[in-house]
Structure 1
Amino acid sequence: MRVAIVGAGEVGKAIAANLAESHDVVVIDPNEAVIEELTYSLDVLTIRGDGTELGSLRDAEVDRADLVIACTDSDETNVVVCGATKTISDAFTIARVRRRTLLETWEGSQGAFGVDFMVCTDLLTAQTIFRICGLPAAQDVDMFAGGLVRMAEFVVDPDSPIADETIYEADRYDSLTFAALFRDDEMIVATGDTVIRPGDRVVVIGSPDSVTDFANDLTMADAEQLEEVVVVGASEIGYQAAREFEAHGYEPRLIEQDHDRAREVAESLPNTLVLESDATDAEFLAREHVDEADIVVAALDGDEKNLLVSLLARRLGVDRTVAVIENLQYAELFETVGIDVAVNPREETAEEIVRFTRAEHTEKIAMLEHDRAEVIEFEVDEDSHLVGGPIVDVTSDLPNGVVIGAISRGGERITPRGTTVIEPGDHVVVFVDAAVLDDILEEI
């Protein structure tokens, strides 16, 4: 597949790095230093130019592209890039935007602006925050097969019931598959003999109820008892996160220092208590009983501010903190100093876009541990390597690093076992080590 990427910011770089080995990639960006860096770091063609200009698009031979991804930092620029592309190419176009209102406008008239698919970074991030907040100890959560299947990654505490158990001993859930463990810098594909150690991050795939039960057992908590939610910062992500909580029946509190912005979001969020104050004021946090919150979401404009707010919340005694980070390099630092989950908007966006470059029938992907592994949902056709016998047989010659996590057939979920037979038309959710991803995509 020939892919043209317009904009080599963090999102563009992440997508280019993910696709460079398996696709013909060209990147357009006006910044000479960025172009030079990409030229030496990735096996991609680079064009210094303006993606809104037909000359730059022609230089990149966009007329031969299968997919054009517009992911500059400007919503308007990305829309124009897609429109310009359509004048010289039949390529499928994707525009990355930040404003939800622009997404809603496009959804109301799909196909408008020359955009075939639109990704809203802030909305995706808010939805991710909501999913993660609903499960104790979860580092990542995603839904597959129209909500029939949930994937989640959890940290195993020393006092967890499954700590020091084998996968065989911990496998006491009817609709749950243990996919893998991340231990420091090592990834371990789960087998019955694999021992779960304290500090491991364990990835499970199964029914939403089973994953919730597993989360509750893992932490000896109740995922359904999330009541007090505090969102710090009425940035667009903070606002969208509060809106997500409202939409699911919660009544969050939102702290915003700017008077005009606080009033604006208060009028838009009828079930959210908006507090106008500086969230780094420890006395204010104590006075407003923020220590009683089940979770604090730091969504200010600035990684350092989000780190400070999260640390203050932990110091007050908040059980769980989630922080938005723009610089992905800070993710490990945040988690090392005690922030439970760091969510990166650019990573969420790249995850949503990359699925369009996967196998023809790929429905959804989730990247884990900064793209060290992926969970992929795809529709099986009659030519797939997975069709033709029990799972234990058809997967025996696949590379190590593949676990079939769940199957959806005709709207019904099937928990895969060795004797399960996959049929054409099934939707299969698979965990794949990134090191063997290209080989697996060729087989499935």
Structure 2
Amino acid sequence: MRVAIAGAGAVGRSIALELLDNDHQVMLIERELANIAPETVEAAEWVHADACELSTLEDADIESCDVVIAATGDDKVNLVVSLLAKTEFAVRRVVARVNDPRNEWLFGDNWGVDVAVSTPRLLAALVEEAVAVGDLVRLLTFRQGQANLVEVTLPADTPLAGRPVRSVKLPVDSALVVILRGGRVIVPQGDDALEPGDELLFVATTAVEEDIRAALLH
């Protein structure tokens, strides 16, 4: 997979290293000369240019990329990069970093964003996930807000203890995708028995999140 990352600061470089470790091709586009440091991510292609410029993206052959990641520290820049990648070059998947949670509402289909990643919101969600038992915690949003990754940890007194997964009547537009139990990652099967302390991860639309919570409490 070929991935272009706009912004070669600490965040952009970290993402690049992770992707390279997974055998993807990575191109870093950076406007500030001070951030151009090929020795920090040697396997990446480096481009010294403004990712908000249409000509820059054309020269970089963005159209051939499978994914564009707008990872700068400026929300305005990330929105422009996302819009150009999606509308001018029809990039299949655009991921954008949200620096200020107050701007999160902008990062959607209108600006070409497929997945918006808000670091403050993600950190808050992870804190909630660590301490909240029995409550539904939203971890991540997909596809312009059409679906979310949500987590529920079953409490010690859960009425579902010992019951098979198939006995949980989930609403339409939701799916149980994984069960985390201790150090195990379990792909749920219908006959798998649920246990107190299980972390259940669902993909679901916002509209049915409360229905999931209700299904797990009864």
Q: Which band: TM-score by shorter chain?
A: 0.7 to 0.9
Distance (whole Å) between structure 2 residues aligned to residue 400 and residue 289 of structure 1: 41
Distance 1:426 1:248, change over 3 A: same
Relative distance call for 1:387 and 1:316 in structure 2 (3 A) is closer
Residue 40 of structure 2 is aligned with which of 248, 251, 268?
268
- In the superposition, relative to structure 1, how do residues 387 and 288 fare at CA in structure 2: closer, same or farther (>3 Å)? closer
Q: Relative to 1, partners in 2 of residues 1:377 and 1:251: Cα closer, same or farther, differing over 3 Å? A: same
C-alpha distance in 1 between matches for 2:199 and 2:130:
17
- Contact 2:178–2:185 (CA under 8 A) maintained in structure 1: no
Tell which deviates more after alignment, 347-356 or 426-435: 426-435
- Identify the residue that residue 321 of structure 1 maps to in structure 2: 94
Q: What's 2:28 paired with?
A: 254
Kindly indicate whether the alpha-carbon contact (under 8 Å) linking 1:310 and 1:323 is maintained by their aligned counterparts in 2: yes
Q: What is the match of residue 9 of structure 2?
A: 235
Contact 2:139/2:150 (CA < 8 Å) preserved in 1? yes
Query: Which residue among 352, 361, 375 is the counterpart of 2:150?
Result: 375
**Counterparts of residues 85-234 of structure 1 (less than 5 Å):** 226=1, 228-234=2-8
Residue type of the partner of 1:415? Answer: P
User: What SS does the aligned partner of 1:342 have?
Assistant: strand
Helix, strand or coil: the match of 1:322? strand
Following superposition, the deviation at residue 230 of structure 1 comes to: 0.6
Q: Count residues in correspondence.
A: 207
Which of 79, 82, 86 does residue 310 from structure 1 map onto? 82
**Greater RCO structure (CA 8 Å; 6+ sep):** 2
Question: Which whole-Å CA distance do the structure 2 matches of 1:312 and 1:323 have between them?
Answer: 12
Q: Distance in 2 between matches of 1:320 and 1:423?
A: 35
In structure 2, the residue corresponding to 1:252 is in which secondary structure?
strand
Deviation for aligned residue 1:422 = 1.4
The residue that corresponds to 2:52 in the other structure is 280
Distance 1:358-1:438 versus aligned 2 partners, 3 A rule: farther
Determine if contact 1:402/1:430 at 8 Å carries over to the other structure: no
Change (3 A) 1:357 1:287: same
Normalised by the size of structure 1, how large is the TM-score? Answer: 0.39
Partner of 1:345: 119
- 1:291 is aligned to 2:97: no
Give the superposition deviation at 1:391: 4.7
Q: CA deviation at 1:292?
A: 1.6
Q: Which is higher, the Rg of structure 1 or of structure 2?
A: 1
What letter corresponds to residue 292 of structure 1 in structure 2?
Answer: S
1:321, 1:341 within 8 Å by CA — same for their partners in 2? yes
Query: Contact (CA 8 Å) 1:404, 1:428: kept in 2 or not?
Result: no
Q: State the alpha-carbon separation in 2 of the partners of residues 323 and 289 from structure 1.
A: 19
Deviation at 1:305, TM superposition (A): 0.9
Alpha-carbon distance in 2 for matches of 1:414, 1:290: 36
Letter in 2 for 1:387: A
Match of 1:245 in 2: 19
In the alignment, is the contact (CA less than 8 A) between 1:351 and 1:365 conserved in 2? Answer: yes
**Offset, 1:389:** 4.3
TM-score by length of 2: 0.73
Distance in 2 separating the partners of 1:285 and 1:387: 54
Aligned to 1:334: 107
Does the 8 Å CA contact 2:163/2:194 hold for their aligned counterparts? Answer: no
Question: What are the Cα deviations for residues 17-70 of structure 1, in whole angstroms up to 9, with x where unaligned?
Answer: xxxxxxxxxxxxxxxxxxxxxxxxxxxxxxxxxxxxxxxxxxxxxxxxxxxxxx
**CA distance 1:357–1:258, shift in 2 (3 Å):** same
Output the amino acid matched with 1:376.
Answer: E
2-structure distance, mates of 1:242, 1:412: 26
